[in-house]
Amino acid sequence: MKTLTKVGVALSALLSLGACSQPANEAPQDYYMFTSFHEPANEGLRFLYSADGIHWDSVPGTWLKPELGDSILRDPSIIVGKDSTFHLVWTLSWRGNTGFGYARSKDLVHWSDQRRIPAMDSVPSTVNVWAPEWFYDDVNDCYMVIYSSCVPERKFDLGVEEENNNHRLYYVTTRDFETFSAPELLYDPGFSCIDATLVKRGEQDYVMVLKDNTRPNRNLKVAFAKRPTGPYTAASSPFTGFLVEGPSVEKLGDDYLIYFDDYQNHIYGAVKTRDFADFIPMTDSVSIPKGHKHGTIFRAPEAVVKGLLDQAK
């Protein structure tokens, strides 16, 4: 944690200088932001921030207190819309809720009213909606929200899982963040899977990083497709050890850095890859504050990050 403290102090000092200290020809810097929460997920939305995407520090405090569902906020995911608005979705409940939460903000400080998006209300026997994750489909100019649900009536292969823990991946889409489509099945790999995130590498080249949620695996795998909606290939061999979850992918230069929650060892892990076939361990090279849980990485302007830090003082 000593390294994190130094990074946090240095970055806070840098941000406190403001735009007036920047050379006239130097544009304001974007920062990496990581949505976060702490167990038991009843306090609200948290953030990490980083100048390099490797060394992270916490923005003190919570920024949106959950009001819907079980009054928890898990697995927060933010995407920046074309209108520069930050759009947030999150898990509302462990069981018994077939929607996910939604709110929006211009500055990450002041938030709209919270809404429940009825993602799976129309699908009989749905048990849950977990880990909603944004992805922008630039070909069809729409925003996808990908999540996992158990739907016992669909009789997917069970493996060793019970029907109420046999997840598959679904999605809904929106163009205006007001109206969302009917749900569609995104991926059935033949086993229970959760925590999917999508990456576009190029034209007709998409990668899904997902968790195999079957016992005793509970590890991360990848699959590939020519369209974000699939069809996807069979899942790869695992590229992590057992008992990990919540992958978040970040592009750094020519590399993709994949963060994940190594909950067996109570740490946050990371690997890097260029091809999603060979993975290099990076856990010892990254710095993640203690207590951080499953979120997503996005970019925010310096002024927004400075505003958060100022409000947190």
Segment 281-289 shows an average pLDDT of 97
Residue 250 has pLDDT above 70, yes or no: yes
Comparing C-alpha atoms, which of 67, 133, 70 is closest to residue 298?
133
Global confidence as pTM = 0.91
Segment 151-165 shows an average pLDDT of 87
Supply 234's token pair.
């069979």
pLDDT in tens, 97-130: 999 999 999 999 999 999 999 999 999 999 999 9
DSSP state of 295: -
Segment 160-180 shows an average pLDDT of 94
Comparing C-alpha atoms, which of 139, 254, 246 is closest to residue 194?
246
CB-count burial class (<10 Å; 0-12, 13-18, 19+) for 201: middle
pLDDT in tens, 195-241: 999 999 999 999 999 999 998 899 999 999 999 999 999 999 999 99
pLDDT in tens, 43-77: 999 999 999 999 999 999 999 999 999 999 999 99
pLDDT band at 164 (very low <50, low <70, confident <90, very high): confident
Q: Which fold has domain 2-312?
A: Tachylectin-2; Chain A (2.115.10)
Segment 130-148 shows an average pLDDT of 98
Residue 2 has pLDDT above 80, yes or no: no
